[in-house]
Amino acid sequence: MYVHLGGEIVVPVREVVAILDVRLLQGSDLNREFIDKAVAGKRLRGDGLTPDCKALVVTRDMTVYTSAVSAQTLARRMTHLRQSARAWDAET
């Protein structure tokens, strides 16, 4: 199953390790360093840290995706996908 992050970006649900609210990342030196390393390593995907960016999604391979969709909405989407997958597995 894949989760839609907005725009034309989708990632496999099983690859997502973190969904971070951009508002909570501001003002932290550690978070800034994490983002800077993602940029330097060319692992930042999406439209970048624009004013529209509301969430960062980190995957197992340390790729960081930016999303204009809120972290809460992305988390809700993933919950629904996981529940659907469990229901599907239970039926088969």
Instruction: Give 24-79 pLDDT, tens digit per residue.
Output: 888 889 988 999 999 999 999 998 889 999 999 999 999 999 999 999 999 999 99
Assess if residue 70 is contained within a domain: yes
Assess if residue 92 is contained within a domain: no
Assess if residue 91 is contained within a domain: no
List Cβ neighbours of 90 (8 Å cut-off, separation of 6 or more): none
Token pair listed for 14: 């099983």
Assess if residue 90 is contained within a domain: no
| Number of domains within the chain | 1
User: Which amino acid, one-letter code, is at 91?
Assistant: E
Question: What's the confidence (pLDDT) of residue 57?
Answer: 97
CB atoms within 10 A of CB 32: 12
pLDDT band at 85 (very low <50, low <70, confident <90, very high): low
Assess if residue 8 is contained within a domain: yes
E strand segments, 1-92: 2-6, 9-12, 16-21, 44-45, 55-59, 64-67
Q: Is the pLDDT assigned to residue 92 strictly greater than 80? A: no
> Can you tell me the distance from the alpha carbon of 90 to that of 30, in angstroms, rounded to the nearest whole number?
42
R_g of the chain, CA atoms, integer Å: 14
Structural domain of residue 25, as residue ranges?
Answer: 2-85
Q: Is the pLDDT assigned to residue 90 strictly greater than 90? A: no
Q: Could you tell me if 65 and 57 are in contact, meaning their C-beta atoms sit under 8 angstroms apart?
A: yes
Assess if residue 76 is contained within a domain: yes
Question: What's the whole-model pTM score?
Answer: 0.86
Assess if residue 58 is contained within a domain: yes
